[in-house]
Structure formats: C-alpha cells, structure tokens
Chain A
Amino acid sequence: ETGVTQTPRHLVMGMTNKKSLKCEQHLGHNAMYWYKQSAKKPLELMFVYSLEERVENNSVPSRFSPECPNSSHLFLHLHTLQPEDSALYLCASSQGGGDRSNEKLFFGSGTQLSVL
C-alpha cells in the first residue's frame, strides 16, 4: 500500500459514543495533520504533528483528542460530539523539516462522520 490511508471511511455515532479515527502514511513523511472539511467551507486545520510532537492546535474543542504514537500513525479520538461536528475529517502528511513554503500535502480519502 502507498500514500495515506484513513479508516473508517464512514462513521455514524451518537453524541454519547466514543470512537477513534485512524490515519497511516506510507511515504516516510515527518509531519501529519488533521483537517475538518464541511460543505462549501474552507478546510479547517485542527492539529499538526511534526516528528511525533504536536506543534499546532487550532482552538479545537477538547472533545477531539489527537494521538501520534509514531511518525507513520495518527489518531483522532472522539467523545461526546455534537451534531455540528458532522463533517469529512481528512488526514494529511508532508515531508516536514524543510522549506515549508512549497511543502505539498498528501491527503487520505477522509472519514465521513455523522453525529446523531
């Protein structure tokens, strides 16, 4: 397998559930990202990890909890979500460590999350 893989592709959960999204990259990259994509809105950066250290956390509610156990894996733990959290959650990776201006992102296909 190559690229960035996300599981599950689809997730329906109630507001009291706890679930986790998983992302794995096979590109040897050093940086990994979580983005939220809502219909007709710009991508919202949630978290950035560089060399397994969280370097950005963009005022995301605490009901979203990221985990990066190694440079190839990234998780997003979800608990007590709200219906407005329904969206496509995209994971991405990039080379990291170099010229950040031209660093392109490699995205997974995302997890389509519905909160009931």
Chain B
Amino acid sequence: GQNIDQPTEMTATEGAIVQINCTYQTSGFNGLFWYQQHAGEAPTFLSYNVLDGLEEKGRFSSFLSRSKGYSYLLLKELQMKDSASYLCAVVDSNYQLIWGAGTKLIIKP
C-alpha cells in the first residue's frame, strides 16, 4: 500500500527553527507538496519539490531526497502565526495525490 508518515504534533519556541519530516512509500513519484493549514481555514500551498535538494523560499525551505523517500520542511525564525498544521502530499505514478495526516505545529512564546 501507499503511505505517508509525518509526526502528529510538534512544539517549538518563537524565534527558533523547526524541521518537520515526511517519509513516503508510494507507487512511483512525480513530486511532493507541502501545504499549510491554519485551524478552521483552507490549506494553502507552500512548496513543491520534484528534484533532490533544498528549495528556499523566505523563512521556509523544503528538502527532498528521492532515494530515501524523504522530505522535510524547515521553518526559520518562527513566529506565532506559524502555528498551524503542515500537510505533506506525494504525487504517485498515476498522478494521484497521496496525503499524510498532517503535523500540528504549536509555537510557544
């Protein structure tokens, strides 16, 4: 079967750095997405990786290793507004999106 694993919940301190991991086992790979979802709101697109390496976008970076079936989202200089759930999703060989259950990130002052 296809599977995406992410930690259920993480806690970090304002101003710090946090890394949210995502491991996947899917039938084929055509890219990996990260979405952010604040409580009661719509998920919004953060990043897309299809090649190995690190993609940086302001305070957020996303890393992919296809050989290891692994990605992470790195959030720097954490702000209270970063408290949200972070969803990892992989595009499989049939162009279906396989979703993880999401990681709830709690930021403390």
Q: Report yes or no: B101 in contact with A104, Cβ–Cβ below 8 A.
A: no
Partner of A40, one of B8, B31, B40: B8
Q: Report yes or no: B31 in contact with A105, Cβ–Cβ below 8 A.
A: no
Q: Report yes or no: B101 in contact with A101, Cβ–Cβ below 8 A.
A: no
The number of inter-chain residue pairs (CB within 8 angstroms) is 49
Select the stretch in A13-21, A61-69, A79-87, A106-114 that faces chain B: A106-114
Q: Is A45 positioned at the interface, with any CB of B under 8 Å from its CB?
A: yes
Q: Hey, which chain A residues are within 8 Å of B89, CB to CB?
A: 43
B33, B35, B43, B95 interface centre (most CB from chain A within 10 Å)? B43
Q: Is B106 positioned at the interface, with any CB of A under 8 Å from its CB?
A: no
Are A100 and B101 also in contact (CB < 8 A) when A90-B42, A108-B42, A109-B40 are?
A: no
When chains A and B are docked, how far (Å) is the Cα of A27 from the Cα of B41? 18
Are A102 and B48 also in contact (CB < 8 A) when A40-B8, A43-B87 are?
A: yes
Q: Is B70 positioned at the interface, with any CB of A under 8 Å from its CB?
A: no
Give B residues with C-beta under 8 Å from A. Answer: 4, 8, 30-31, 33, 35, 40-45, 48, 50, 87, 89, 91, 95-102
13 new A-B contacts at CB < 8 Å, known A41-B101, A105-B45? A3-B42, A40-B101, A40-B102, A42-B4, A101-B30, A101-B31, A101-B50, A104-B33, A104-B45, A105-B97, A106-B45, A109-B41, A112-B40
Pairs across A and B, CB under 8 Å, 25 listed: A4-B42, A40-B102, A41-B101, A42-B4, A42-B101, A43-B87, A43-B89, A43-B99, A45-B97, A90-B43, A100-B30, A101-B30, A101-B91, A102-B31, A102-B48, A102-B91, A104-B33, A104-B48, A105-B43, A105-B97, A109-B40, A109-B41, A109-B42, A110-B42, A112-B40
